[in-house]
Amino acid sequence: MNEPPVLQRIKLLKRDKKIEASFLDGNIFLLSCTYLRVFSPSAEVRGHHGGENILVTGKEDVQINEIEPVGSYAIRLIFDDGHNTGIYTWPFIYDLGINYQKNWKRYKDRIANIGKEKK
């Protein structure tokens, strides 16, 4: 049975517009504010009924103003665009880190497809 990932340290790198998440297993992920915003675990982004995530656009310059702890299992990210409803659990952050390339490619493909649909 796999143990859930344990966050060792999280650091906001404001100048770089990233967070650095270090896990007990040695994995360290640098995740951009934009990536964290467009893949927020909130119902606003995930949708209220499951299925494909809502496509969030126009967040290239978004910044994280604050990181709030939620118990000993998660954080809430306070973004400068007012978004603050997602609870980022340790497994969720770990998954975002491990699957960054796949997630970001899928997101960019969805953005590109919008441009094709408008033509």
State the CB neighbour count (10 A cutoff) for residue 59: 18
100-118 vs 90-98: helix axis angle to the nearest 10? Answer: 70
Q: Over 90: is that where the pLDDT of 81 sits?
A: yes
Q: Are 33 and 74 in contact (CB under 8 A)?
A: no
- Model pLDDT for residues 23-49, shown as the tens digit of each residue: 999 999 999 999 999 999 986 666 655
- Which residues 6+ apart lie within 8 Å of 5 measured at CB? 23, 24, 25, 27, 90, 91, 93, 94
Average pLDDT, the chain: 90
Alpha-carbon distance of 19 to 88, in angstroms, equals: 12
> Domains, the chain, ranges and CATH?
7-114 (3.30.2020.30)
pLDDT given for residue 118 in this prediction:
47
pLDDT given for residue 119 in this prediction:
43
β pairing state of 64-70 and 74-79: antiparallel
For 32, the token pair is 């951009």
How many percent of the chain have pLDDT more than 70?
Answer: 87
Q: Over 70: is that where the pLDDT of 50 sits?
A: no
Look at 75 and 4; give whichever has higher pLDDT.
75
